[in-house]
Amino acid sequence: MVEEIRRWGLTGSMGKPVCKSQLARLLRNPIYYGVFKFNNEMYEGSHPPLISKKLFDSVQAVLDNRHRNHKKTEIKYGFTGLMRCEYCGCAITAEKQKGHIYYRCTKKKGPCLSKKFLREEALLSQVNEAIKKVYIDDPTKDKMINRFDELFQEESKASSSLSQGIKNRISEFNAKLERLVYIFIDRQITQEEYTKRKAKLLNDKKDLEGKLKEIEKSGSGRLEPAKQFVTTCNRTGSVTWQEILSPKKIFLKFAARTSS
């Protein structure tokens, strides 16, 4: 990420290049989902959040786990990371020799019965066969998309009542926050208790606001992946005959994500 940031020409506030530790701090900073800490107290910013709290939380989870899941960086060839060995389940790696790319089992679990290697050309024809199996033609695609749109209409009615419910809960949180200030002014709770409760309320509110945004943005977001999937399956028709790898790879990744 640091490399990418430098490539974009972004700098720190003093005009110096961004370093790793700055990026690490940035990724831990809650200001991007709308709250900030000052004197140990949590405040809600008046700025529109750049990211949702949900995204922030998943980034934190990745950061917390990054030591455990540290992987050796390998050169990424077209289809590595998408396949496992049929015989032993190990990852498949690739290497370039004499201008050709060869795929083979990493054999990390010990001896393996697989053939030594597979040339990318041979792999491609297997991939093409697999992709052809899920091809959806134009009329079928249109029929399915239309049905999804009908479902979308039905569900958007339901989701509008759902979002109203969340809006109500958000205003409850606002009222609670306001009440908390009065309780604190009346000295019914300690400073410590106040900051603790405020942080909790603000975070819960941000979770709800994120949910609301998701509902409002996608309307019926549940159908979006299905639509995307149908469109992708339809597009594979043209993808299969092309020599370019990237559309095939995108499709395989998409299929892997959807099926998991």
Residues that bind Zn ion (CB under 5 A): 85, 87-88, 90, 105, 112, 114
Nearer CB in complex with Zn ion: 104/197: 104
* Degrees to nearest 5, angle at CA 230 with 225 and 231: 95
CB 11 within 8 A of CB 17: yes
Nearer CB in complex with Zn ion: 104/213: 104
For residue 116, the minimal CB distance to Zn ion (Å) is: 11
CB 183 within 8 A of CB 111: no
For residue 130, the minimal CB distance to Zn ion (Å) is: 19
Nearer CB in complex with Zn ion: 10/87: 87
Nearer CB in complex with Zn ion: 48/110: 110
For residue 107, the minimal CB distance to Zn ion (Å) is: 6
For residue 126, the minimal CB distance to Zn ion (Å) is: 16
Phi/psi of residue 43, nearest 5 degrees: -125, 155
> Which residues are CB-neighbours of 130 under 8 A, at least 6 positions away?
none
Nearer CB in complex with Zn ion: 92/144: 92
Question: Is beta strand 118-119 parallel, antiparallel or unpaired with respect to 100-105?
Answer: antiparallel
DSSP state of 18: P
For residue 94, the minimal CB distance to Zn ion (Å) is: 14
> Which residues are CB-neighbours of 194 under 8 A, at least 6 positions away?
41, 180, 183, 184
Nearer CB in complex with Zn ion: 85/233: 85
Q: For residue 69, what are its two tokens?
A: 């899941």
For residue 207, the minimal CB distance to Zn ion (Å) is: 44
With b for 16 or more beta-carbon neighbours within 10 A and e for fewer, the 219-243 pattern comes to: bbeebeeeeebbebbbbbeebbeee
Q: Where are the alpha helices (DSSP H) in 15-99?
A: 20-28, 53-65
